[in-house]
Structure 1
Amino acid sequence: MHYIFEVTLSPGYTAEAYAEAWIRASRIIQQAPGAQGTRLHRKIGDPTRLLAIATWESKAARDAMESRLPERVLEIIAEQTPYVEITLLGEFEAPEWEVVPEP
Structure 2
Amino acid sequence: MKTLPIFLAFVVSSLTACDNNYQSVLQAEKACENWARQGIAFTLEPSGYLESIEYKGATTNRFCEKKEIQYIGYVFDLPDADKPVFADELMKLRGNAKPIQKFRW
| Larger strand percent | 1
| Larger helix percent | 2
Q: Which has the higher contact order (CA 8 A, sep 6+)?
A: 1
Q: Is the radius of gyration larger for structure 1 or structure 2? A: 2
TM norm structure 2: 0.29
